[in-house]
Amino acid sequence: MNLYKRWNDMVVDYVKTKGEKAFWDEYSKVEGTIYARILEKPEEKFTYKIGELAKEIGTTPEFVMGFTDGINDSLNTTLDLETIGEEDAIILDIDLERLYYNMLDAKAEYLYNIPAWDHILTEEKREELAKQLKDSRTVRNENKVGRNDPCPCGSGKKYKKCHGK
């Protein structure tokens, strides 16, 4: 069984046996530890082997695979997660702005508030990314029907006299 499948199976089993809160508590610790390492030297590509990193930070390879899965959307070149094993060297070419945006999108306050971000992205840039995220979630109806426009139902009546009542 490949590591990515083991990660997915482990999540399901962990939540069933220990609960969702316990899973997120454990995963958040792992993720926070790894991101703190990455953000210490943002100019360098972060390189690791899943098995070795898991031993260094005191967790399982499955949790490190989960981290790898999570950061994959923030990479300039995404990884084929299905083919990664515990001993494969992984080099992360991270788009830091996309990473910050994705952290905001995931509502991972414990990650986007890591103090190292102060030295990586300016306050203005972080606010701009937060505004982009907010704007992306705002639904706008571009084809708004005016009161005196023909009703979109095709009746021939003005909207205010038909479906606008």
Q: Spell out the per-residue pLDDT of the chain, length 165, in tens.
A: 799 999 999 999 999 999 999 999 999 999 999 999 999 999 999 999 999 999 999 999 999 999 999 999 999 999 999 999 999 999 999 999 999 999 999 999 999 999 999 999 999 999 999 999 999 988 777 778 888 989 888 899 998 899 887
pLDDT value of position 78: 95
E-strand stretches of the chain: 46-49, 89-92
pLDDT value of position 41: 94
Q: pTM value?
A: 0.81
**Token pair 């508030």: residue:** 113
The angle subtended at Cα 14 by Cα 91 and Cα 67, nearest 5°, is: 15
pLDDT value of position 140: 75
The angle subtended at Cα 113 by Cα 107 and Cα 114, nearest 5°, is: 125
Under 8 Å between Cβ of 137 and 147: no
pLDDT value of position 144: 83
Under 8 Å between Cβ of 81 and 88: no
**Largest CA-CA distance found in the chain, in angstroms, rounded:** 72
d(CA 133, CA 90): 29
Under 8 Å between Cβ of 25 and 15: no
- Sequence length of the chain is 165
pLDDT value of position 152: 87
The angle subtended at Cα 79 by Cα 76 and Cα 81, nearest 5°, is: 155
- What sign has the CA pseudo-torsion 58, 104, 22, 72? negative
